[in-house]
């Protein structure tokens, strides 16, 4: 299969670059800049893209790469830091720019294989403090901006191209065209990466690998494990057992919907473990958010592994791990703000024949496309992100069965109204939170002293940053009216108008 390497020098958009390449039907994988050249040679890439990064190439502590990479005969595209790195490696001059460029800038482009169908003047996204003051010998300048004398350069003999701007972000008007041109005009790609062939190939591989053995999968009802389940069901049917732990922290009717979907639409053994009470007991009196997460995570796996131990013929253990969970970033460890977990460790006393991760090469949007093609209902495939600890981190303070019921009802009203108004799939995430707050209200002639509910809704591309969503007042009014009327025990509704940062999406 034709493949592009995205060589990661610590840029914040490295995953985006790979996704954009894949959108053009070419498989792309990300490797850190520490990968040896031999490994790169072995993998026979059609092209290599150097990502951006926060450093200066003339700082010797910065990520560099051996210059032989430019002499392998494999086309290279450098982006931002990657562009400066090519210049530096090939003997050009990189300096701190007299004027840093940040944001949308007008680019003037000359004819080049990477600028085919790109107008002479267009807007690009720039974010740099260093620049190429003199390109290396053999390289010609193919674009400029008012403050950047070399905004792009090329060496057509060696098929090496470099752009100071970020073609991968949508703010660069023709950025996608530049990437397309690199793939098809320079690397000579054919566009073989399509989801139908992924499904067919994976099913064959899974059948070969699993043979007549069994497979166990932990199904959470989230997108990744649901798609993994559907794919495995297509491959091996009843040899698959899905274990669905319902900890009582899901949204209204969600557990029943997951059960119905997988028992009626897919061929498999489905085991549902209902353990809401167990979780309420384990969480009694606990108010600290990280402690709640720890208990929910630990208890979840205690229940899950106890159920697995009961299975006599275990076979393989499958997981819905996706590509972003596997990428080793050039940035080193990002700060852990909240504890999320993706890959599951198996306890020592539970033995499997091996681990199967059928989605480990896919980005989330690709997983969704596979899910749609496998016939999983839209509600599951396009499900908004839902935190592992579920409603447990949307109830501030102690979690009780009553509070869970109250939150579920309010959240169901919000979802219903958002769905009626076409927001179900058009907003990154929205949900209700039940803070540990009671306020005074009035109903008829009576004083009330009831719960406050908060609505949280955000727009975001990547969940690293987010903006609070500007939901029309009319919809908010309807939701507030319905919640206070339909959910006994709630007398006040507020709307969270905090962006991330400084707030996070979830309240805990």
CA angle 359, 360, 365 (to 5 degrees): 60
CA distance 34 to 209: 31
Residues between 80 and 119 that touch ligand XMP (CB under 6 A): none
CB of 500 to ligand XMP, least distance (A): 5
Q: Does 500 bind ligand XMP (CB under 6 A)?
A: yes
- CA distance linking residue 383 with residue 425, whole number of Å: 8
User: Taking contact as CB under 6 A, which single stretch among the options 25-33, 308-316, 370-378, 380-388 is the one that binds ligand XMP?
Assistant: 380-388
Residue 149 is a binding residue for ligand XMP (CB under 6 A) = no
> Crossing angle for the helix pair 223-236 and 364-373, nearest 10 degrees?
40
- How, if at all, do strands 240-246 and 215-218 pair? parallel
Q: Closest separation between CB of residue 31 and ligand XMP, Å?
A: 25
Output the smallest distance, CB 292 to ligand XMP, in A. Answer: 10
Tell me how crowded residue 212 is: count the other CB atoms within 10 A of its CB.
8
Residues, the chain, total? 508
Among positions 323-342, residues that touch ligand XMP (CB under 6 A) are 338, 340
If one asks whether residue 190 binds ligand XMP (CB under 6 A), the answer comes out as no
Nearer to ligand XMP, 64 or 364 (CB): 364
- Could you please report the per-residue DSSP string of 338-376? S----S-PPPTT---S-EE-TTTT--HHHHHHHHHHTT-
Unique residue bearing structure tokens 């600290």: 288
Closest by CA position to 456, among listed 366, 383, 359, 385: 385
Is 343 among the residues that bind ligand XMP (CB under 6 A)?
no
* CA end-to-end distance (rounded Å), the chain: 43
Applying CB under 6 A, does 455 fall inside the site for ligand XMP? Answer: no
The interface region with ligand XMP, picked from 169-177, 415-423, 432-440, 498-506 by CB under 6 A, is 498-506
Restricting to residues 398-437, name those near ligand XMP by CB under 6 A. 429
CB contact set of 185 (below 8 Å; sequence gap of 6+): 113, 114, 116
- Note whether 498 binds ligand XMP by CB under 6 A: no
Interface stretch with ligand XMP, choices 35-43, 89-97, 353-361, 381-389 (CB under 6 A): 381-389
- Residue pair 383/243 in contact (Cβ under 8 Å)? The answer is no
218 binds ligand XMP per the rule CB under 6 A: no
Among 463, 467, 477, 497, binds ligand XMP (CB under 6 A): 463
- Give yes or no for residue 364 binding ligand XMP (CB under 6 A): no
Q: Which range binds ligand XMP by CB under 6 A, 86-94, 176-184, 282-290, 386-394?
A: 386-394
Which of 253, 284, 256, 300 lies closest to 403 in space, CA to CA?
A: 284
Helix residue ranges, H only, 352-472: 364-373, 378-381, 401-420
Q: Which is nearer to ligand XMP, 29 or 357 (CB)?
A: 357
- Min dist CB 81 to ligand XMP, Å, is 27
Contact call for residue 221 and ligand XMP (CB under 6 A): no
Task: Using the Cα atoms of residue 337, residue 339, residue 342 and residue 347 in order, give the sign of their dihedral.
Answer: positive
Evaluate the omega torsion of the peptide bond into residue 70 and state whether it is cis, within 30 degrees of 0.
no
* 499 forms part of the interface with ligand XMP (CB under 6 A): no
Smallest separation, CB 440 to ligand XMP (Å): 30
Note whether 441 binds ligand XMP by CB under 6 A.
no
Among 12, 269, 311, 504, interactor with ligand XMP by CB under 6 A:
504
285-304: contacts with ligand XMP (CB under 6 A)? 293
Active site residues: 80, 166, 168
Q: For residue 452, give the H/E element and its range.
A: strand 446-459
- Residue number, 385 or 489, with CB nearest to ligand XMP: 385
Residues 6+ away with beta carbon under 8 Å from 490 = 406, 410, 450, 451, 452, 453, 483, 484
Q: Is 502 left (phi over 0), alpha (psi -120 to 50) or beta?
A: alpha
Among 63, 358, 387, 392, binds ligand XMP (CB under 6 A): 387
- Tell the smallest beta-carbon distance from residue 4 to ligand XMP (Å): 28
Residue 170 or 339 with smaller CB distance to ligand XMP: 339
Q: Which is nearer to ligand XMP, 405 or 462 (CB)?
A: 462
DSSP string, 110-148: ---GGGTT--SEEEEEEEEEEEEEEPPTT-EEEEEETTE
Shortest Cβ distance from residue 483 to ligand XMP (Å)? 21
Choose the binding region for ligand XMP from 116-124, 405-413, 447-455, 500-508 (rule: CB under 6 A): 500-508
Interface with ligand XMP includes 385 (CB under 6 A)? Answer: yes
Of residues 416, 436, 395, the one with CA closest to residue 483: 416
Binding part of the chain for ligand XMP, among 140-148, 256-264, 387-395, 474-482 by CB under 6 A, reads 387-395
By C-beta, is 398 or 462 nearer to ligand XMP? 462
Q: How many residues bind ligand XMP (CB under 6 A)?
A: 13
User: Cα(455)–Cα(453) distance, rounded to whole angstroms?
Assistant: 7
Query: What residues line the site for ligand XMP (CB under 6 A)?
Result: 293, 338, 340, 385, 387-389, 429, 463, 500, 504-506
């Amino acid at each position: 299969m034709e493949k592009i390497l995205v060589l990661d020098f610590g840029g914040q958009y490295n995953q985006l670059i790979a996704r954009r390449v894949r959108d053009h039907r070419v498989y792309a994988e990300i490797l850190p800049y520490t990968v040896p050249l031999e490994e790169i040679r072995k993998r026979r890439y059609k092209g290599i893209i150097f990502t951006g990064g926060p450093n200066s190439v003339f700082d010797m502590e910065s990520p560099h790469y051996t210059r032989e990479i430019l002499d392998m005969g494999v086309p290279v595209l450098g982006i931002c830091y990657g562009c400066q790195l090519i210049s530096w490696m090939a003997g050009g001059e990189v300096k701190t720019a007299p004027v840093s460029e940040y944001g949308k800038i007008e680019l003037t482009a000359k004819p080049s294989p990477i600028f085919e169908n790109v107008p002479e003047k267009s807007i690009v996204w720039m974010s740099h403090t260093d620049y190429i003051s003199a390109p290396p010998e053999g390289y010609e300048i193919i674009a400029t901006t008012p403050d950047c004398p070399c905004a792009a350069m090329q060496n057509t003999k060696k098929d090496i191209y470099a752009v100071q701007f970020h073609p991968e972000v949508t703010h660069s008007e023709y950025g996608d065209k530049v990437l397309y041109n690199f793939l098809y005009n320079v690397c000579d790609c054919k566009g073989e990466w399509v989801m139908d062939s992924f499904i067919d190939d994976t099913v064959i591989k899974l059948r070969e690998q699993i043979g007549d053995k069994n497979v166990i999968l932990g199904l959470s009802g989230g997108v990744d494990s649901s798609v993994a389940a559907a794919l495995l069901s297509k491959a091996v049917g009843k040899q698959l057992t899905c274990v669905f732990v319902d900890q009582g922290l899901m949204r209204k009717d969600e557990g029943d919907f997951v059960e119905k979907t997988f028992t009626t639409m897919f061929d498999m053994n489905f085991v549902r473990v209902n353990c809401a009470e167990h979780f309420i007991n384990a969480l009694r009196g606990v108010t600290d958010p990280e402690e709640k997460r720890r208990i929910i995570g630990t208890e979840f796996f205690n229940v899950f592994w106890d159920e697995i131990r009961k299975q006599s013929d275990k076979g393989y253990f499958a997981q819905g791990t996706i590509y972003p969970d596997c990428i080793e970033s050039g940035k080193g460890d990002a700060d852990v703000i909240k504890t999320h977990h993706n890959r599951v460790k198996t306890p020592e006393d539970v033995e499997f024949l091996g681990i199967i991760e059928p989605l480990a090469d896919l980005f989330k949007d690709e997983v969704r496309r596979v899910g749609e093609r496998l016939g999983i209902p839209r509600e599951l495939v396009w499900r908004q992100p839902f935190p592992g600890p579920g409603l447990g981190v949307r109830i501030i303070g102690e979690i009780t069965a009553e509070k869970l019921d109250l939150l579920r009802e309010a959240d169901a009203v919000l979802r219903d109204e958002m769905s009626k108004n076409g927001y179900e799939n058009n907003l990154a995430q929205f949900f209700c939170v039940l803070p540990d707050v009671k306020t005074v209200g009035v109903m008829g002639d009576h004083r009330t002293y009831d719960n406050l509910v908060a609505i949280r809704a955000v727009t975001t591309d990547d969940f690293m940053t987010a903006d609070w969503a500007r939901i029309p007042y009319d919809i908010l009014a309807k939701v507030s009216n319905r919640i206070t009327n339909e959910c006994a025990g709630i007398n006040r509704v507020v709307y969270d108008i905090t962006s991330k940062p400084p707030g996070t999406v979830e309240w805990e």
